[in-house]
Amino acid sequence: MTPAYVGLGANLGDAGATLRRAAADIARIPGVDGLRLSPFYRSAPVDSGGPDYVNAVAALRTALPARELLRELQRIELQYGRTRPYRNAPRTLDLDLLLYGNERIEEPDLVVPHPRMHERAFVLAPLADLEPGLRLAQGSLPELLRQCAGQAIERLD
């Protein structure tokens, strides 16, 4: 079983309810085990306009290869009506494969570790809640979070 981390985000509809249901859907993927869901965070959209996002991170273990896990995540996105009209368009549900074991994958539609996760507070904060000691290539989570101090995020509960 390979440990993997998935970023969840939504900024349309009842985003919190969507993330909770999507996490339950991820937990039910055959070959996925032991899902843990972080607390939820609200933040203004980074690099785009539109309503605030709600974000979370799920930690899991999987027997699936990274590409098959990605395909399952995309299938779940589609169930929530995700369309891709343009880059960074508002979305009912966005699922990003952030980390897959220690693997580095660089393919046109799958780059792991996620290339922007180290500079996004809305990923780093929930990831640190689940895995405080984790280090990324760019540094420890507390170090990276300090570098994102300009990004206001609010923890929900």
Q: Work out how close the CB of 52 gets to ligand PH2 at its nearest, in angstroms, rounded to a whole number.
A: 7
120 is catalytic: no
82 is catalytic: yes
Q: Work out how close the CB of 33 gets to ligand PH2 at its nearest, in angstroms, rounded to a whole number.
A: 25
DSSP reduced 3-state for 69 = helix
**Residue closer to ligand PH2, measured from CB, 86 or 133:** 86
**Residue closer to ligand PH2, measured from CB, 29 or 117:** 117
SS (H, E, C) 16-68: HHHHHHHHHHHHCCCCEEEEEECCEEEECCCCCCCCCEEEEEEEEEECCCHHH
Find how far residue 57's CA is from the centre of its chain. Answer: 5
**Residue closer to ligand PH2, measured from CB, 47 or 157:** 47
96 is catalytic: yes
Tell me how far CA of residue 22 lies from CA of 16, 37, 43, 85, 86, in angstroms: 10, 11, 19, 21, 22
**Binders of ligand PH2 among 77-136, rule CB under 6 A?**
88, 94, 122
Q: Is 47 in the site for ligand PH2 (CB under 6 A)?
A: yes
Alpha carbon distance, N-terminus to C-terminus of the chain: 31
For the annotated catalytic residues, the residue numbers are: 82, 91, 94, 96
Give the interface with ligand PH2 as residue ranges (CB under 6 A).
9, 43, 45-48, 53, 55, 88, 94, 122
